[in-house]
Amino acid sequence: MDILTVASQKGGAGKTALSAHLAVEAERVGAGPVAVIDTDPQGSLADWWNQRTAETPIFAAVEVVRLATHMTELREQRVNLVVIDTPPALLQTIRAAIAVADVVLIPARPSPHDLRAVGVIVEMAEAAKIAFCFVVNGATPRTTIALEAVQALAQHGPVAPVIMHQRIDFAGSMVDGRTVGEINPQSRSAQEITKLWQYIYTQLRKYRRSI
């Protein structure tokens, strides 16, 4: 079983949307069964999942203090991938979610404040000896600032070779429990998610833990 934790100490980085989209994409390409976990008290991922009519991915309710035990239980249930969404600012919760991960995905919007905020998550991942990678998220199409963000992040660790752009179809897809790939699989947003998952999958294969 692989565990992907999506983490940022800053709100608005797009963690929940990425968690949902990556989980659905993983199911689509046959990497399931996939379970999603929402550790954010706001419950945005849980709200999205409750709007879904599709049976996958499954939703796993957890207690953060028992996160490692829950991972063992999901492994015994033959879940192949767990995607954990984390809250902003609640560092103890983020640290617990990082500790059980195989890979931590750190989304950052292309702004100086967002780029500065990734340092705390990098430090947590390095302290726990957990692999991590960045993705530039919420970029405005046809601007150079996203490429500059990639260059800045690359000084601290690997960066996904796809930039996630801010588009209406991507944001709007979360309203009714679907993803952009389910609504419009030929869209640019859907293609970006496909490429991001392919990269994440290679990272999970590279850093899979031995049980």
pLDDT in tens, 43-89: 999 999 999 999 999 999 999 999 999 999 999 999 999 999 999 98
How much is the pLDDT for 191? 97
Please give the pLDDT value at position 89: 87
Which CATH number is associated with domain 2-207? Answer: 3.40.50.300
Alpha-carbon dihedral 87, 89, 95, 98, rounded to 10 degrees: 50
- Contact assessment for residue 149 and residue 115, using Cβ atoms and an 8 Å cutoff: yes
pLDDT score, position 210? 52
139, 145 Cβ separation under 8 angstroms? yes
pLDDT for the residue 174: 87
pLDDT of residue 31: 96
Cα angle for residues 50, 29, 135 (degrees, 5° grid): 75
**β partners of residue 131:** 103
Predicted local confidence at residue 209, as pLDDT: 66
Mean pLDDT by 10 residues, the chain (211 residues): 95 94 97 96 96 95 95 97 96 97 96 89 96 95 89 94 91 88 94 97 84 48
Give the model's pLDDT for residue 141.
Answer: 85
Domain assignments of the chain as residue spans, ordered by start? 2-207
CB 153 within 8 A of CB 136: yes
